[in-house]
Amino acid sequence: MSQLSSIDKPLLSKVALITGASRGIGLAIAKSLAGMGAKISVCARDSGKLGAAAGDLERHGVAVLAVPADVSRATDVATLVQKTEKSLGPIEILVNNAGIGVFGPIQEASEADWDSALDTNLKSVFLLSRAVAPGMISRSSGHIINIASLSGKSAFAGGSIYCASKWGLLGLTGCMAEDLRPFGIRVSAVCPGSVATDFSPPSKKDPRKMLQPEDVAHAVSTIVTQTSRSFISEVLLRPTQRP
């Protein structure tokens, strides 16, 4: 590999798996890492939207593997990891982006609301990280990046279930980082504020002043290009202007 190639494509031939990548933040991250030379595997529950996202990536010249999966299910996770590594190679970057928003007063929430949010936003990270960690340990390298939220650090009316999932995710991220750093694996959290996607609850915020998916993707790109001596454990991402 030439020095120029390593500068232009710092992730050349590395395999990146991004969950929840059929739209929004996940799709932006996939495009960004692909532009840095990574081989891309993407997943989402909706096979139709995932296929459209894969087509979008391919039109940008990206060779992409798309695997429909419910990452809150251990069997789907095992299949996703196996297909990715068989087709592309060992997973060196895992971006746990899959997430859902459940909002409303706690007294009106259902057990199904709780299970859905915690399974998608938290359990899936445990399952994916556990699945890829042994391979990363054997190679003494790897990045696991969890897309959390500033809601994991603050409270607001109607946010009890969502905030609980993101507070839990930050706790999980910190403990994983300590478990895995002796093996050369770096675990990080990105905590954006409101991002202009259809994920966020309705609000009166000006979308032109909100964070964009590409801003989160840029934070991920910065994390995976750190020198081997250090890692960014957490990024708090806010817009320059209040929406």
What are the residue numbers of the active site? 162
**In the 8-state DSSP scheme, what is residue 89?**
-
Rg (CA), the chain: 17
Distance CA 205, CA 11 (A): 36
Backbone angles phi, psi at 92, to 5 degrees: -105, -20
For 31, the enclosing helix (H) or strand (E) is helix 24-35
Cβ proximity of 71 and 122 under 8 Å: no
- 142-147 sheet: strands from edge to edge: 64-68, 39-44, 15-18, 91-96, 142-147, 185-192, 234-237
- Asked whether the beta carbons of 92 and 19 are under 8 A apart, the reply is no
Q: Which residue has the tokens 């429909």?
A: 68
Q: Report the candidate in 68, 122, 69 with the shortest Cα–Cα distance to residue 100.
A: 122
